[in-house]
Structure 1
Amino acid sequence: MKNICYLLVACLAVTCLFSCEKELHKYEGKPTVYFNETARPLAYSSEVLKDSTVISFSLTKGTTVDSLVHMVIATIGNSVDKDRPYKIAINSSSTAIEGKHYQMITKDLSIKKNQLRDTIWLRFMRTPDMKDQNFTLSFDLLENENFSVDMQYKITNQTTGQRLNFINYRWFINDIIKKPSRWLDFYLGTFSRTKLNLMVEVLNVDPQYMDTNISIAETLAYGKFMQRYLNEQKAAGNLILDEDGQPMNMGSAAQ
């Protein structure tokens, strides 16, 4: 009986060994490229990956004229001991103009020797027409002699058919004024670009901070300080007007 048990154990061990060897096979087939941001590991469990990014200059402090960004191209497959060019193209839906709204800084588009990723650097330029219009820059990854684009998308919402696209990535660029999410009219009054710019100048506050981190107590303090400033300027003969041509005022709680 013992001999039978030993024989069964030996057979199971051999079976497991062959099974493990089969599972450890290397990737076969033509390597595939995709935008890393759309399929990378999640930074936290509830993170939602996206195939687009919004670049807005509207809450940028001061007179920032450009924004340097990057996108990572990744590949499924094994690294090799030579550079492998990949193919990327501007989608016809793009409205951003090269040389005016953006600049491609990276010229050598290839997965470098012994690497599985490459980084493309872009510069977006802040232009006057962005105050009234949203511009789009859309990139497509295309198949070439080195890479396929077989991993194209996945359905993220079965009801609507919404997709996460792995081989198309879009940038939306504008300078359209955005009301900070934590702006409270009760303390700060009616929102306007003119008022926000004045607060940035007088208080030396970052608009991004007002959009994401400012507390209610700070908002009230800002309102009261700005109303006192407006009153002092008026008393000195410098009446500050808002965008509508009327005297600028903060919220009712700041009076």
Structure 2
Amino acid sequence: MKWKYILFILGLSAILGACEKKDISVFSTNDAGIYFQLIKGYYGTTTEIYTDSLDYSFASVPASMKDVMLPATVRTMGKVVDYDRPFRVVVDKEGTTAIEGVHYEINVDTVGIPAGESMAKINVRFFRTDDLMEKSVRLALRLEDNEYFKCYFPEYKSMNTYSSTGVLIHGDSFSFTLSEMYTIPWYWSVIIKTDYFGTWMPKKFMIINMVCGFTLADWNSAGATGAKIIFGRCGFYATMVQKYLQEQADAGTPVVDSDGKYMQLDPKYAVDYSQYE
């Protein structure tokens, strides 16, 4: 009985010792942090998913749209203050294939967090260039420490819920990927073939869409009842494009196709380029 009493006392001491209050180290600093975070929310829930990149294709917009402004969102941790705070962002040369002045323009010298705010956007203007029909280009941005902000989050979880696994994304870098790559629409390859627009090429496809006001949605619904693109109208559309190409040629600005040759449609809608031969 005596031993049972002793063991009880020892066990109770161990339990009480394990329950003692211990000091836990917490993050505490007067420095403000900064990080990239593009938020995409799940519909109907409070779960948010974060990403450190943005893909954009000019193929999804009207051909008349020659550039687009895309933002990279930066957020801060720490106190909100009553004065403007510039932050430092640079183009990551190793992760970038886009050419400044050709594919994009950006002003990194004026970026900052406005007074009373905890976030800001870095706006980048991207241009619709012919080479995007053949390849994608990438612009990578990187945050760096300055006197106002520190980059405390090189990586963090992509979801805001504790129980979700998520993946790790970059807090100090953000990338844009731009392209305009097309595939041959089924209506072109099966119905139109070469009777109106000739051999399919990416740049010709873009010119046809620009002149006729077509979108990818129009091509996806081609031939259906009420569709904009139907076989009976293709002659009219081919005439519109031929007229545009001829006007460009007569003005001294002939349109060159993806193969490096002057753009032509079907021979029935030939463009006269004799002055260039």
* TM-score normalised by L of structure 2: 0.58
Matching of residue 224 in structure 1 with residue 231 in structure 2:
yes
Report the Cα distance in structure 1 between the residues aligned to 2:218 and 2:114, rounded to whole angstroms. 42
Report the Cα distance in structure 2 between the residues aligned to 1:133 and 1:51, rounded to whole angstroms. 21
Q: Could you say which residue in structure 2 is the equivalent of 1:166?
A: 171
Aligned-residue offset at 1:138: 0.1
Aligned-residue offset at 1:215: 8.3
Deviations 1:78-120 (A, max 9, x none): 2012222212121122111222221114642221211111122
Unaligned 5+ segments in structure 2 are 1-26, 160-165, 195-199, 241-256, 268-277
Aligned-residue offset at 1:64: 3.1
Question: How well do the aligned residues superpose, as a CA RMSD in angstroms?
Answer: 4.0
Q: Could you say which residue in structure 2 is the equivalent of 1:52?
A: 53
Q: Could you say which residue in structure 2 is the equivalent of 1:198?
A: 208
Contact 1:141 1:168 in 2 (8 A): yes
Q: Could you say which residue in structure 2 is the equivalent of 1:101?
A: 103
Q: Could you say which residue in structure 1 is the equivalent of 2:138?
A: 136
Contact 2:222 2:228 in 1 (8 A): no
Report the Cα distance in structure 2 between the residues aligned to 1:219 and 1:185, rounded to whole angstroms. 21
Q: Closer, same or farther in 2 for the Cα pair 1:148/1:128, shift >3 Å?
A: same
SS at match of 1:130: helix
Aligned-residue offset at 1:170: 0.5
Q: Could you say which residue in structure 2 is the equivalent of 1:79?
A: 80
Q: Could you say which residue in structure 2 is the equivalent of 1:110?
A: 112
Contact 1:156 1:162 in 2 (8 A): yes
Report the Cα distance in structure 2 between the residues aligned to 1:230 and 1:84, rounded to whole angstroms. 54
Contact 1:52 1:169 in 2 (8 A): yes
Q: Could you say which residue in structure 2 is the equivalent of 1:8?
A: none
Contact 1:59 1:177 in 2 (8 A): no
Contact 1:86 1:110 in 2 (8 A): yes
Report the Cα distance in structure 2 between the residues aligned to 1:154 and 1:117, rounded to whole angstroms. 18
Q: What is the aligned length? A: 205
Q: What is the percentage of aligned positions where both structures have the same residue?
A: 20
Q: Could you say which residue in structure 2 is the equivalent of 1:175?
A: 180
Q: Could you say which residue in structure 2 is the equivalent of 1:239?
A: none
Report the Cα distance in structure 2 between the residues aligned to 1:148 and 1:154, rounded to whole angstroms. 15
SS at match of 2:149: coil
* TM-score normalised by L of structure 1: 0.62
Contact 2:218 2:228 in 1 (8 A): no
Amino acid at match of 1:225: G
Q: Could you say which residue in structure 1 is the equivalent of 2:249?
A: none
Contact 2:42 2:49 in 1 (8 A): no
